[in-house]
A and B are shown apart, each in its own frame.
Chain A
Amino acid sequence: MKRSEQTRSRAGKVLGIAFLLAGFLIAATVCAADPAGPSQIPNIFKPDSTPADSIFRLSKLVLVITSIIFVVVFSLIAYATAKFRKSDADDGSEPPQVYGSNQVELAWTVIPGLIVLVLFLATARVILSVQDAPKPPGAIEVIAVGHQYWWEYRYPELGVVTANELHVPVSDLQHPTPTFITLLSADTDHSFWVPRLAGKTDLIPNHPNHTWIDPHEAGLFLGQCAQYCGVQHAKMLLRVYVDSAADFDAWVQGQKRFAATNDAAAEGRRIFESTACINCHAVSGTVADGHFGPDLTHLMSRDTLAAGAALNTRENLRAWIQSPDSIKPGSLMPAMKLSDHDLDALTAYLETLR
């Protein structure tokens, strides 16, 4: 008898401890997961832009309130299960039969109602401040088009077209230069999500959407497509480069130039312009003006290939042209099946596109 009671109360303790640990571990690890300093972890609790920061501040309020509810209700359940456990010395009689209490019911209806009211008002403020923010005069405009499985970026006011790596200027508080992004889709649904800059907004065909970011410091911010869009949804990665004002201007000037020409790569250029490449890819100042794939005018100014799936190195570029499935199985880029010689020449040409 005695022993079985011990095991029972031990079981109760284990239950309690297990649940407590689970709750606190979540809280603790989320805070500890991202050490201070520059980090590539797209942690939603390390905001670096006003929309993400507004969300972060709201989320702190929500987390505090839900934690208090958790502790209170958890304690009630734990107390009830521990205190009202049938003892081994029980005489077998039934406990007093209680059917309910209107006062108690009223209390646990009204109090949650008040909590909901507070949460709702705090939330509504943030919805309006993020979604209906006015666009200041210095704002950069970008049109982002989601494709299976890459990102097209157009800067209509600056005359720049690029792919997969979005460059935006730092926005300081005195002279805000936020970036307002119009989100379009060329095929299926996608979602633009760079957690440290803003919450996600979907890119839906026939349904233009808008979002904005105003990063407070320079650096690289990572994210990825967050709405299932097909086979390679997983490797539709987002890279946002936040540049200082001077760097951003320099980048824009570089992107506006026509493609570099280099006689040494003439053979590669001939291959590029006489095969299927130009059906999909554009290189400004040449006959290549396809629009199904990324603009390659300044391919070498980008750090990655295939929407962030591989680093932009000579070996990866070769592999990507010859057999895209080796890097990103299911991507819509066809395998070009060139001879080694042609492949070398083509790679050499692409490497001149700086």
Chain B
Amino acid sequence: MASEIIAINEFAGGGQSVGEWLHGWVTTVDHKRLGILYILFSVFFLVIGGIEATIMRIQLMVPHNHFVSPEVFNRMFTMHGTTMIFFVAMPVLFGFGTYLIPLMIGARDMAFPRLNALSFWLTAFGGLLLYFSFIGGNGLYGAGNAPDVGWFAYAPLTSRAFSVGHSTDFWTLALLISGIGSIGTAVNFITTIITMRCPGMTLGKMPLLAWMNLVTAGMVILAVSPLTAAQIMLCFDRYLGAHFFDTQAGGSAVLWMHFFWIFGHPEVYILILPSFAFASEIIPVFSRKPIFGYPIMVAATVMIGFISMSVWAHHMFAIGMSSYGNTFFTITSMLISIPTGIKIFNWIGTMWGGKIQFKAPMLFCVAFLFQFLIAGLTGIMLAASPFNWQLTGSYFVVAHFHYVIVGAILFTLFGAFYYWYPKMTGRMYNETLARWHFWLFVIGFHLTFDFMHIPGLLGMPRRIYTYEPGRGWEFWNLLVTIGTFVQGIAVLIFVGNLLWSMFKGPVAGNDPWDAWTLEWSTTSPPPDYNFATIPVVESRRPLWDLKHPEDPDWKYE
């Protein structure tokens, strides 16, 4: 990791002492450096979260396995979920947003550069605090160290009666702190996008990546705030004698569920919209066509933003809501498939009639389309609340949301890594290694997450540290575990490729993909000030207009 930073730094103008170099990175308020810090931070936690997943999969490889104790297993799934959502997925997407938004809208930095730095460091220290629990979480003799309450930490497991020691406090405070960081980033995104677009870039001419991050940022403010409030209430319960969620004193476990999922479901869309944003930038460039139905794509994004605020209780179909409640959340959850479907069709429409080049970014985006289709369809199954009574809390639901988070979000992220790598580092990655990464990851992903649906259908609940033989689950669990290792190898190739290309990759040039958005009009990596002169745009594809003066976009938009 350190060598990667040094290499990047060399491109940014080397020749400093280590102290100067470190000082430069720690005190930076440059959106590009902060973006890279976010990304490196997330890759670090991705590896840790991956190791936790691997520990779980080894334990579940065979029934009645003794690889880890139930206590350790419960910590692993809690830390894996919390890490992957709050300290990998969100920061990496924020990192790409922070890096790309000013470049794509023709600005020289974010609206609030210092808030930008504050947000990053809050998130980073939130992550470190969570992991400090392994050392400092005990508190009482015999009490566990790392949190073991599950990533949605249902009450009353988090009350002091059931969670002695400080492990739950580390979880609460880590999320509280990183949540404040997320809200800061969201405010920054919104302000930047609203106020700092270059001349000519009306909202209707803004790149889709900026649009989708704008909607995401709005959702972050609406969704992370209740989570933050709930964390404070939980602290009050545990230390100030409040009884919001303390069922032994008449509190409500269901209240916590509502608070958590009013955050938790929009969170899924907070993660998937930036991933849609990557696909909406990459697919057109590699199909050599503009995005199909730009206004509809924007409208669908906004619709997803609104509808996603009204679906949270589909995580709670089994908690005994009234039949009317279940009916309401069934229809809202099904409705969200319409704007999402529109997006899939528009991406297909973009490829239709194009000249598709299957470079690594495009490969990952095409795989994303297939996998997101499946994830959406299993989502419809889960939206039908009676079917959900069987599927929720089982390995089917685990497979479903990993299909979304890995099959869709991580795949587009890998695409984004390869697509913007030459811009961020100035060097091209190795295409052969990227293809190895792609195919191994596709195989590993499908081995793991296709077959993970089946034990769920056969009655295997999630979050069990071991299971009984003879229920038809053994074979599938073994396959799932094998797939995990294949994915692990693929990720190692990915990290290796990025590191190797940092030093040995061919120089990429400003615009290696013959792309159309503003970030490709400046040098790779961009100078501190991004653009020597602020660009003026006339259409959604300013570089197309530049390259095809005889047939510019603004004539048709």
Q: Which residues of A contact B (CB under 8 A)?
A: 8, 11, 15, 18-19, 22-23, 25-26, 29-30, 33-34, 40-45, 52, 54-55, 58-59, 62-63, 65-66, 69-70, 73-74, 76-77, 80-81, 84-87, 90, 94-101, 104-105, 108-109, 112-113, 116, 119-120, 123-124, 126-128, 130-132, 183, 187-189, 191, 193, 195, 198-202, 204-207, 209-210, 222-235, 237, 329-330
Q: Is the CB of B70 within 8 A of A329?
A: yes
Residues of chain A within 8 A of B394, CB atoms compared: 226
Residues of chain B within 8 A of A65, CB atoms compared: 380
Q: Is the CB of A108 within 8 A of B393?
A: no
- Identify 12 new A-B residue pairs, CB closer than 8 A, beyond the known A69-B377, A99-B557: A23-B374, A44-B457, A55-B386, A59-B381, A84-B354, A98-B292, A183-B320, A202-B318, A204-B254, A227-B318, A229-B157, A231-B74
Residues of chain A within 8 A of B141, CB atoms compared: none
Q: Which 6 A-B pairs have the closest CB atoms?
A: A199-B389, A42-B459, A234-B464, A209-B320, A100-B293, A205-B247
Residues of chain B within 8 A of A231, CB atoms compared: 70-71, 74, 148
Of the candidates A52, A187, A193, A223, the one whose C-beta lies within 8 Å of that of B156 is A187
Contact with A along B254-291 (1 / 0, CB 8 A): 10000000000000000000000000000000011110
Of the candidates B247, B318, B366, the one whose C-beta lies within 8 Å of that of A77 is B366
Which B residue sits closest to A211, measured CB to CB? Answer: B320
In the complex with contacts A43-B472, A58-B386, A191-B393, A329-B69 CB distance below 8 A: yes
In the complex with contacts A19-B370, A188-B162, A226-B394, A26-B320 CB distance below 8 A: no
Q: Is the CB of B471 within 8 A of A95?
A: no
In the complex with contacts A206-B252, A230-B157, A127-B326 CB distance below 8 A: yes
Q: Is the CB of B358 within 8 A of A8?
A: yes
Docked pose: A62 CA to B69 CA in angstroms: 39
Q: Is the CB of A66 within 8 A of B252?
A: no
Contact with A along B318-357 (1 / 0, CB 8 A): 1110110011001100110110011011101101111111
Distance in angstroms from A333 CB to nearest chain B CB is 15
Q: Is the CB of A97 within 8 A of B290?
A: yes
Docked pose: A63 CA to B345 CA in angstroms: 21
Which B residue sits closest to A183, measured CB to CB? Answer: B320
Contact with A along B352-369 (1 / 0, CB 8 A): 111111100000001101
Q: Is the CB of A95 within 8 A of B288?
A: yes
Docked pose: A226 CA to B460 CA in angstroms: 8
Residues of chain A within 8 A of B465, CB atoms compared: 233-234
In the complex with contacts A206-B252, A228-B150, A109-B338 CB distance below 8 A: yes
Distance in angstroms from B152 CB to nearest chain A CB is 9
Residues of chain B within 8 A of A18, CB atoms compared: 442-443, 446
Distance in angstroms from A19 CB to nearest chain B CB is 5
Contact with A along B380-394 (1 / 0, CB 8 A): 110011111111111
Docked pose: A19 CA to B446 CA in angstroms: 8
Q: Is the CB of A205 within 8 A of B156?
A: yes
Docked pose: A209 CA to B548 CA in angstroms: 66
Residues of chain A within 8 A of B556, CB atoms compared: 97, 99
Docked pose: A70 CA to B374 CA in angstroms: 7
10 A-B contacts, Cβ less than 8 Å apart? Answer: A43-B457, A55-B390, A65-B380, A94-B288, A98-B349, A123-B387, A191-B393, A200-B390, A202-B318, A234-B70
Q: Is the CB of B387 within 8 A of A59?
A: yes
Which B residue sits closest to A108, measured CB to CB? Answer: B345
Residues of chain B within 8 A of A30, CB atoms compared: 454, 457
Distance in angstroms from B58 CB to nearest chain A CB is 16
**Residue from B253, B386, B458 having most chain A Cβ neighbours under 10 A:** B386
Q: Is the CB of A77 within 8 A of B369?
A: yes
Contact with A along B453-493 (1 / 0, CB 8 A): 11001110111111110111000000000000000000000
Q: Is the CB of A41 within 8 A of B463?
A: no
Residues of chain A within 8 A of B338, CB atoms compared: 109, 112-113, 116
Docked pose: A127 CA to B331 CA in angstroms: 12
Docked pose: A41 CA to B346 CA in angstroms: 43
B109 CB-CB contact with A under 8 Å: no
Residues of chain B within 8 A of A73, CB atoms compared: 344, 348, 373
Q: Is the CB of A199 within 8 A of B386?
A: yes
Docked pose: A190 CA to B70 CA in angstroms: 17
Q: Is the CB of B468 within 8 A of A237?
A: yes
In the complex with contacts A43-B472, A85-B356, A66-B377 CB distance below 8 A: yes
Distance in angstroms from A42 CB to nearest chain B CB is 3
In the complex with contacts A58-B384, A62-B381, A200-B458 CB distance below 8 A: no
Residues of chain B within 8 A of A76, CB atoms compared: 348
Docked pose: A84 CA to B557 CA in angstroms: 24
Distance in angstroms from A72 CB to nearest chain B CB is 10
Distance in angstroms from B123 CB to nearest chain A CB is 27
Residues of chain B within 8 A of A80, CB atoms compared: 348, 351-352, 356
Q: Is the CB of A207 within 8 A of B349?
A: no
Residues of chain B within 8 A of A63, CB atoms compared: 381
**Residue from A54, A70, A84 having most chain B Cβ neighbours under 10 A:** A84
Q: Is the CB of A62 within 8 A of B384?
A: yes
Contact with A along B72-105 (1 / 0, CB 8 A): 0010000000000000000000000000000000
Q: Is the CB of A127 within 8 A of B385?
A: yes
Distance in angstroms from B70 CB to nearest chain A CB is 5
Q: Is the CB of B459 within 8 A of A195?
A: yes
Of the candidates A87, A126, A193, A223, the one whose C-beta lies within 8 Å of that of B386 is A126
B250 CB-CB contact with A under 8 Å: yes
Docked pose: A170 CA to B62 CA in angstroms: 35
B450 CB-CB contact with A under 8 Å: yes
Docked pose: A44 CA to B351 CA in angstroms: 39
Q: Is the CB of B318 within 8 A of A191?
A: yes
Q: Is the CB of A189 within 8 A of B381?
A: no
Residues of chain A within 8 A of B250, CB atoms compared: 206
Residues of chain B within 8 A of A42, CB atoms compared: 458-459, 471
Docked pose: A67 CA to B402 CA in angstroms: 20
B26 CB-CB contact with A under 8 Å: no
Residues of chain A within 8 A of B393, CB atoms compared: 191, 193, 200, 226-227
Of the candidates A15, A86, A232, the one whose C-beta lies within 8 Å of that of B70 is A232
Distance in angstroms from B155 CB to nearest chain A CB is 8
Of the candidates A41, A95, A126, A201, the one whose C-beta lies within 8 Å of that of B355 is A95
Q: Is the CB of B461 within 8 A of A226?
A: yes
**Residue from A69, A109, A205, A228 having most chain B Cβ neighbours under 10 A:** A228
Q: Is the CB of B389 within 8 A of A120?
A: no
Which A residue sits closest to B300, measured CB to CB? Answer: A109
Residues of chain B within 8 A of A132, CB atoms compared: 323
Which A residue sits closest to B464, measured CB to CB? Answer: A234
Which B residue sits closest to A206, measured CB to CB? Answer: B247
Of the candidates A44, A70, A123, A191, the one whose C-beta lies within 8 Å of that of B377 is A70
Docked pose: A329 CA to B556 CA in angstroms: 69
Docked pose: A226 CA to B463 CA in angstroms: 9
In the complex with contacts A55-B387, A86-B355, A202-B320 CB distance below 8 A: yes
Residues of chain B within 8 A of A40, CB atoms compared: 470-471
Q: Is the CB of A124 within 8 A of B353?
A: no
Residues of chain B within 8 A of A188, CB atoms compared: 154, 156-157, 162
Residues of chain B within 8 A of A130, CB atoms compared: 386
Docked pose: A108 CA to B446 CA in angstroms: 28
For residues 530 through 557 of chain B, which have their beta carbon under 8 Å from a beta carbon of chain A? 548, 551, 553, 556-557
In the complex with contacts A100-B349, A202-B320, A205-B247, A119-B380 CB distance below 8 A: yes
In the complex with contacts A33-B472, A105-B342, A116-B337 CB distance below 8 A: yes
